[in-house]
Amino acid sequence: MLTTLGFVISKKNVKEFDREYCFFTKKYGKINLIAKSIRKPLSKLSAQLEPPSLIEIVFVPNSEKGLIITALAKNSYCSIRKNIDKLKIYNRIVNRLDDLSITKQPDEALWSLINTSIKNLNKYNGKIVELNFSAKFLKIIGLAPNMSYCLNCQNKITDNQSVGFDKYQGGVVCAKCVSPKSINLTSQVFKSINILINMPFKEIMAKELNIPIEQRSGDIKKFFDEYIKQTKKYF
C-alpha cells in the first residue's frame, strides 16, 4: 500500500456502486484510482473525497488504475467550498493541470504550485490567484511566453509599450511587426503579465500589485486562455 497527499481533479461513476477519481498527488503526480462501493448509502469514504479538500490517500497501485483503501480530508478549505465563484476557479485550475500534465510523473514544483494556489484561493481574491497559477504553471512546464523581445525584428520590448502577441509562436511582436492575427496587449496588460510570470505571489501581494492586475483581470485571463488553448494541441 502507498500513501500520499492529493487533490481531486475529476471523478466519474463506474459500474454499479464504484467511482473513478483522478488526483494530482504529491508523490506520484497525476494518477487514476478506483473507490469501490463508494456510492452505497452507508459509505463513509465519499465525504472524504470531496473537492477542494487536501486529501491523504492510501491506495494499492497497479499498472493502470489503483484501488483506494482509505482517505482522509486533511483540510476541507471551507471558504472555497462555500463560495461558488472560488469553487469554479478551483475547477479551472485543476482542469488546466489535467490538460497539461503527464500521468504518473511526479513533479515537486507543480505540487508546490497547486498546493500553494489552493491555500491562496482559500484566503485571497480568486482572480489574482487564478492568473498567478496560469503564469507560474506555464513557466514550470517550460512554456512561458517570450515577453522580452519581438519575435520578428528581435528588438527588445519594454513595459511601457503596447504590443501584439503571437499565440502560435508563443511570444510578443512589437507595434511595427504586429499582424491581424496577433492578440493586442496594452502596455498595462503586458506589464501585468510580466509581473505574474516573474514575481513571487507573496511579493505581488506585499507590493499591492494585485490591485492593478485585478483591474485588468479580464484581458489578462483572455490572454492566458488563448495561449493555453493553443498550447494544449501539443499535449
Per-residue pLDDT of the chain (235 residues; tens, 9 = 90+): 999 999 999 999 999 999 999 999 999 999 999 999 999 988 999 999 999 999 999 999 987 889 999 999 999 999 999 999 999 999 999 999 998 888 889 999 999 999 999 999 999 999 999 999 999 999 999 999 999 999 999 999 988 888 999 999 899 999 899 988 889 999 999 999 999 999 999 999 999 999 999 999 999 999 999 999 888 776 6
Report yes or no on whether pTM surpasses 0.75.
yes
Predicted confidence at residue 201, as pLDDT, reads: 97
**Alpha-carbon distance 122 to 159, whole Å?**
31
Predicted confidence at residue 235, as pLDDT, reads: 64
Predicted confidence at residue 212, as pLDDT, reads: 94
Q: For 90-127, give the DSSP string.
A: HHHHHHHHHHTS-BT---HHHHHHHHHHHHHHHHS-HH
Predicted confidence at residue 18, as pLDDT, reads: 94
CATH 2.40.50.140 maps onto the chain at: 2-75
Nearest 5°: CA angle at 169, between 231 and 191?
90
Q: Amino acid letter at 60? A: V
CB 128 within 8 A of CB 204: yes
Query: Regarding the domain delimited by 2-75, which CATH topology (the fold level of the hierarchy) does it fall under?
Result: OB fold (Dihydrolipoamide Acetyltransferase, E2P) (2.40.50)
Exposed/middle/buried for residue 187 (C-beta within 10 Å: 0-12, 13-18, 19+): middle
For 195, half-sphere exposure in the C-beta direction (CA atoms, 13 angstrom radius) is: 25
Q: Name the nearest CA neighbour of 102 among 169, 168, 170, 22.
A: 22
